[in-house]
Structure 1
């Protein structure tokens, strides 16, 4: 009998063997247009869907890539403040193709997005960190993670 602790096979189930069909990371903003310019127009994440005036909310879903994992940004008519909790709350996007990586960095700079110093020195020299319009951090890295 094999030891399950020795398995290198990733498990893609949640409790009770529930297999996630989709993951959405959602957050509010008071700067929906600016956030869209950063993530959609700067990073190039495709817009999957949008809604307006749904229970006083407007929102947009962006792919990471495709439809299985996506970001949702919402803005409430009465305001949706969402200050970043720290400089180390990150979305890390791994781009392993050198040409695509350098192209994305150049695109971000053309759009006026200047890299910021990462809070964690692990990311220095191996990636570029950007601060979105609400202060949340996005890291674009050439190396893959785990």
Structure 2
């Protein structure tokens, strides 16, 4: 078996607020939307590429130290953090905060050459916005 698609399903009591954040503030385009009886609604937002990142507790602690400077993952009620690659981490962070996210840590350059911001999105979702930094000619890659 090979998975053909990854969907993270965010359960929320306020779908309009979640859409205002993910669709409007972060710019994720609507791919599909459905309504059913009893006010049931789902909106599927697209991201061009997705990966499933599996990390042990030591790596999570290390990422927290690099991105935030202190343990942060334990502060969230979820055991998962959503990481979205963006073209401009600073602008995306500003848009996310303007859209209702709480800033946990501003964009910070990581040892793996990305610029990562940590936020808490609607409904307490742990969120990293990251920008891949171009490698300099001296990096050898």
Q: How does 1:15-34 map to 2 (within 5 A)?
A: 18-34=1-17
2:83 to 92, 95, 106: 92
**Secondary structure at the counterpart of residue 139 of structure 1:** strand
- Where does residue 13 of structure 1 map in the other structure? none
Compared CA separation, residues 27 and 103, structure 1 to 2 (3 A): closer
CA deviations on 1:31-89 (whole Å, 9 max, x unpaired) are 111111111111111111111125752111011237x78xxxxxxxxxxxxxx633x62
**Candidates 128, 132, 135, aligned match of 1:139:** 128
**Shift, 1:19, TM fit:** 2.3
TM-score by length of 2: 0.58
- Higher helix residue share: 2
Cα RMSD between the aligned structures? 3.3
Contact 1:116 1:129 in 2 (8 A): yes
Match of 2:118 in 1: 129
Aligned counterparts of 1:43 and 1:112: Cα–Cα separation in 2:
11
The CA distance in 2 between the partners of 1:93 and 1:54, in whole Å, is: 32
| Total equivalences in the alignment | 104
Q: Which residue of 2 aligns with 1:43?
A: 26
Runs ≥4 in structure 1, deviation > 4 angstroms? none
5+ residue gaps, structure 1, are 1-17, 70-83
TM value normalised by structure 1: 0.56
Identify if the C-alpha distance between structure 1 residues 117 and 42 changes in structure 2 by more than 3 Å, giving closer, same or farther. Answer: same
Instruction: Check whether the contact 2:35–2:41 (CA below 8 A) recurs between aligned residues.
Output: yes
